[in-house]
Every structure is written in C-alpha cells, then in structure tokens.
Amino acid sequence: MPQKKVLVLTEQFTNEDTLFDPLREAGYTVEVNETGRLPDEAKLREMLAQDVVATIAGGEPYTPAVIEAAADLSIIARWGVGYDKVDVPAATAAGIPVAMAFGENHESVAEYAHAMALSLACGLGRRDAMVKSGSWSFDGFHPGLWGRTAGLIGLGRIGGAMARRLKGQGMEVLVADPALDAATAKAAGVEAVDLGTLLTRADLISVHAPSTPQTRHMLNDDTFAKMKPGAIVVNTSRGPLIDEAALLRALESGHLGGAGLDVFEVEPLPGASRLREMPNVILSPHVSGMDRMAEARVTGRCVSNILTWLHGDPAELQPYVVNPQTLKNKESAR
C-alpha cells in the first residue's frame, strides 16, 4: 500500500529540513518543493492527484478544479495568514479544513514594515548608493518619522504589532479599520478614524488589510491624491490592495515621498515594471514574514495543525481554521 504523503509547497525549504520530522515520525512521506517557484494550477492538480493527504501551502492556487482533483487531500495547512489563493467554499464542500498559522509571524511582518518605513524616511537606500559610488555630500534633510503621524489601514495582529513600534518611536498613530471598537483603540493607544481622515493626516501609511473584492485597489488615484505631499506608503499585506499604475503616477509626479512594497498585484513582479526603476521605492519578494523566529513557529504550527486533524481532536483547530464547518462535520462523524 502506498505511503501517504505530505507536500511542502512553499519555496524556502529543502527535503533535509528537520522541521518536518514530526510528520515523518508519524509515518508520512514528506516531499518538499525545491524548485524555487510555486506550482501553477495544472502542476498542482498533477501533484495532488494521488496519495497526498496534506499540504503545507504557499501561494499556489487551490481552485475548485484543483480541489476536485485532489482525491486524498484531507487538510490544507497554509504557511502564513493569507488565504486568498484558496477557494474556501470549494474546500469546505470537500470537507477540507484550511488551517492557518495565526499568531506566529505577525511580529516578523511588522518589523519588516517598520524597517521599510524607517529606511525610506531616512533615505538609507540613496545614501548607501551614494557613498558606495564614491561620492560624499549632504543631500538634504530627510523627513524622519519621530514626532510625525502614522496611519495604519487595519489593526489586526500585524497592525497592532506595527502600532507598538510606531508609538515607541514617538509617532501619533491613526487607524482606519471598520472592525475597530473604541475599547480596542484605547487599549492600543491609537486614534480610530475613517480612511479619508487617515489619508489627509498621515505622513506614513502602512497597509495591513486582507485582500477581498471590497479592498481591491483601495489605494488608487483618488486616495493617493488625498495623501499629504511627501507621504510614504508601505504594503506588506497583499498586492491587489494597491493600484500599481496609480502608485507609479503618484511617485513620478513627486506627490508621494516613497513606497516600500513586499507584495504586488502580479508575483513575481514583472521584469518590465517601472517600479524597479524608482529610486524612492524599496522592493522585496514577499518575504516580510520569514525571519528565523517565524521559520520555526509558523512551520511548527502547520505541522501541528496537520497532525491534530489527522490524529487528534479537531476542536483544537478552532482558532486556526477559516472554514470551521469542516471541524463540526468531522466531530459529528466520530
């Protein structure tokens, strides 16, 4: 009888990684994606066709067709906190829980967003390039961040961790989040405002919202025009939240002071993108949540979620599953 398999489809691991040993010790064959790229829909259907009971998922597309073809798939354990690449209704209909790693890498993402903001506000990129090229001169006062106003779009775990960092350096922090109540805002030491107010008052705008049809291109020509001249925009959440063509227009006109982007509308970022040419833009390849702490914590949560679903009490997955109906169905079948 073929041994059941767990596929690790994210791009950052190898088959030698010991983080997956608990799965091996439980009797599963672990196959790690070592190609450096995510499978497309056709390849994923092929990979999941037989004997795969679980995946540790990256950003590959779990479409209805993929889920229908995955005859043995029992759980999708997402390495991270976003699930816009998973058709959750299709997974739910198939009885497959989509289990996240909530609470494991939010500090990592916030730290990265903060580093991008500081680098842009202090002009580190251009000054590093200047000195390395052999020049040495005063190139103007940089805006800095301390004593200024930050605007966070979203105050979930990552937004909250970002708020702590910004407040710690003496910034006033505004938050636009329809789910934010007065008590939570007070406890976090932030001011709850509507998006329009945030755009007009903030020197730094950091995006920490999910990708949904309602949030697609929430930053666009109109919203960029409302921002303060010289404002900095940072996005470590999901690329589709920003209209990149509009962002380029705002940067090229000089209205925006800079942008830090770890996520993009199309990933990998197309080679012809003019964002690559902008001196006041920092780009990175969707890695903000991948520090060493997150490597162990997020992977451990994925492994634990898989083993709990296959061998433990499904109720223990309640805090991590985005389609909890699957847990109830398994409970009633026990």
Q: Yes or no: say if 327 and 97 are a contact pair by the CB < 8 Å rule.
A: yes
CA 96 to chain centre: 22
Q: DSSP letter at 134? A: T
Which of 238, 244, 295, 301 is an active site residue? 238
The three-point CA angle 216-220-226 to 5° equals 130
Separation between Cα atoms, residue 217 and residue 161, nearest integer Å: 24
CA 32 to chain centre: 21
- 18-25, long-range: CB within 8 Å, 24+ apart, which pairs? 19/295, 19/296, 19/299, 19/300, 19/303, 20/299, 20/303, 22/303, 22/307, 23/303, 23/306, 23/307
Q: Quick one: tokens of 256?
A: 């925006």
- DSSP-derived secondary structure for 79-125: SSS--TTB-HHHHHHTT--EE--TTSSHHHHHHHHHHHHHHHHHTHH
Residue with tokens 């960092």: 165
Residues 6+ away with beta carbon under 8 Å from 215: 209, 240, 241
238 among known catalytic residues: yes
267 among known catalytic residues: yes
Q: Yes or no: say if 240 and 216 are a contact pair by the CB < 8 Å rule.
A: yes
Phi and psi for 69 in degrees, rounded to 5? -80, -15
Q: Strands 204-207 and 149-153, how do they pair?
A: parallel
Separation between Cα atoms, residue 208 and residue 194, nearest integer Å: 15
Q: Yes or no: say if 106 and 158 are a contact pair by the CB < 8 Å rule.
A: yes
Which of 45, 286, 295, 301 is an active site residue? 286
Active site residues: 238, 267, 286
